[in-house]
A = this chain, B = another copy of it.
Amino acid sequence: MGFTCALLAVSIICVTLFATAQNESNSTPASSNVRGAQSPRVFTDGRVSFSLKAPDATTVQIGGPFPGAPFPMTKNTEGVWTVTIPPIVPGFHYYWFVVDGVQMNDPGSSTYFGYGKETSGIEVPEHGVDFYSVKDVPHGEVREHWYLSKTTGDWRRCFVYTPPGYDKSSSVHYPVLILQHGSGEDETGWTRQGKANFILDNLLVEGKVKPMIVVMDRGYATRAGKEPVNFGPGSSQHNFREAFSAFEDVVIKDLIPTIDSSYRTIPDRNHRAIAGLSTGGMQTLFIAPRHLDQFAYIGSFSGPIIPGLNAGGQPASGNSRPQFDTKTAFDGAFADPPAFNKRVKLFWFGVGTEEPQFRGSIKGAADALRAAGVNLVYFESLGTAHEWQTWRRDLHDFAPRLFQ
């Protein structure tokens, strides 16, 4: 039947086309693989094996944010390149192949939006830890919601988590957490990489968290008719402010109104939180102190503290350590700590212990704020880096403190 070849030659069951299984008994295909893909595989001790068929390639490597990367792969007589890398820390990691200098995705992996593009990812289980697993508990929904932004002039997509039972009553109203992704990621990150919906489902069934709506928007915004503002390498703090300011208007003028008119929210500051990871943390720390009439709960997950943006004082130059000035930081929001403490019910900083590039300044800012009398919760994720396992743990600590 010729048509079955035409139709089904690409059947996903035939996954061995690109990936050769390494049927080692103490390893299993990663849960982040596409259905049926036998590679990559995760070993019980945290090692990971990768494979790619590329008979004509001269060099193939595994790249990613693992210590020791890139890892060279070796080719067998059938043209299949393989490598097993040393144990990596549990959690979700982006990765990629580099084939003769060209970066490419692994056909065996699902893709996740990171680094400004679709990127392969691998999930390494953490033994005995299941707070972000899909379990036999009531599940909320993650809804794709489209809205027209006056700020940007275009239709934007956000995702909205509604808790289990949301549709069972038309009279219950809920508080709202706005939860933002990091640089190079997008509005899919918190559920796909972060598993925020399962974290909340699981906390809810344990009675540890208030039922809430979680809004995950796209952290990029360009004002209608304007060119995008570059806040990448070499940009000045001015560009951070300018880039964040368009997103600030989206959140305050477009997103909050559309959420409050579309969902059964409790539309006041005492029932609205904002948090974000990395650049999303920077955005949170830029937006929230300027709009304390909108937010009573504020969280920054590995959000860099930046001179001239949110550290107060003057912009530092080169690689000098930022000077954190509690009087002028965050546009002076902490100049009067008792007044801030009265207004803000939760101010929360988190960072992984393996984030040398951020931990010092984040802990320094937290220490300085607390010394000045600001109530602040400081959380460290042991052994994790500037990656999603840190931010899953952050959400798991942060969410139960909201709306209590």
Q: Say how far A260's CB is from chain B's closest CB, in angstroms.
A: 13
Whether B146 pairs with A4 at a CB distance below 8 angstroms is: no
Q: Which residue of chain B has the shortest Cβ distance to A145 in the bound complex?
A: B141
Q: Counting CB contacts under 8 A, is A25 at the interface?
A: no
Whether B233 pairs with A11 at a CB distance below 8 angstroms is: yes
Q: Counting CB contacts under 8 A, is A35 at the interface?
A: yes
In chain A, positions 173-225 with a C-beta closer than 8 Å to chain B are: 183-184, 186, 191, 197, 220
Q: Counting CB contacts under 8 A, is A150 at the interface?
A: no
- List residues of chain B with CB within 8 A of the CB of A146: 134, 139
Whether B52 pairs with A102 at a CB distance below 8 angstroms is: yes
Whether A220 pairs with B104 at a CB distance below 8 angstroms is: no
Q: Counting CB contacts under 8 A, is A13 at the interface?
A: yes
Q: Counting CB contacts under 8 A, is A103 at the interface?
A: yes
Q: Which residue of chain B has the shortest Cβ distance to A33 in the bound complex?
A: B117
Q: Which residue of chain B has the shortest Cβ distance to A197 in the bound complex?
A: B144
Knowing A7-B183, A101-B55, the reply to whether A2 touches B357 (Cβ < 8 A) is yes
Q: Counting CB contacts under 8 A, is A306 at the interface?
A: yes
- List residues of chain B with CB within 8 A of the CB of A134: 146, 155
- List residues of chain B with CB within 8 A of the CB of A371: none
Q: Counting CB contacts under 8 A, is A36 at the interface?
A: yes
- List residues of chain B with CB within 8 A of the CB of A306: 1
- List residues of chain B with CB within 8 A of the CB of A115: 10, 12
Whether B231 pairs with A7 at a CB distance below 8 angstroms is: no
Q: Counting CB contacts under 8 A, is A68 at the interface?
A: no
Q: Say how far A202's CB is from chain B's closest CB, in angstroms.
A: 13
Q: Counting CB contacts under 8 A, is A76 at the interface?
A: no
Q: What are 9 A-B residue pairs whose CB atoms fall within 8 Å in the complex?
A: A4-B233, A7-B278, A7-B279, A8-B183, A10-B184, A11-B116, A11-B230, A143-B144, A167-B167
- A-B interface, 5 closest residue pairs, ranked by CB to CB distance from nearest: A12-B116, A11-B232, A104-B104, A170-B170, A142-B144
Whether B316 pairs with A8 at a CB distance below 8 angstroms is: no
Chain B CB within 10 A, most for which of A3, A231, A307: A3
Q: Which residue of chain B has the shortest Cβ distance to A148 in the bound complex?
A: B136
Whether B13 pairs with A319 at a CB distance below 8 angstroms is: no
Whether A54 pairs with B100 at a CB distance below 8 angstroms is: yes
Q: Counting CB contacts under 8 A, is A34 at the interface?
A: yes
- List residues of chain B with CB within 8 A of the CB of A264: 167
Tell me the bound Cα distance from A379 to B91 in angstroms. 49
Knowing A110-B118, A143-B143, the reply to whether A304 touches B101 (Cβ < 8 A) is no
Q: Counting CB contacts under 8 A, is A404 at the interface?
A: no
What sequence of 0s and 1s flags, for each residue 22-43 of chain A, a beta carbon within 8 Å of any chain B beta carbon?
0000000000001111000000
Q: Counting CB contacts under 8 A, is A129 at the interface?
A: no
- List residues of chain B with CB within 8 A of the CB of A7: 183, 278-279, 304, 357, 386
Q: Say how far A136's CB is from chain B's closest CB, in angstroms.
A: 6
Q: Counting CB contacts under 8 A, is A403 at the interface?
A: no
Q: Say how far A201's CB is from chain B's closest CB, in angstroms.
A: 9
Q: Which of B13, B110, B167, B361 sits near A228, CB closer than 8 Å? A: B13
- List residues of chain B with CB within 8 A of the CB of A5: 233
- List residues of chain B with CB within 8 A of the CB of A197: 144
Q: Counting CB contacts under 8 A, is A14 at the interface?
A: yes
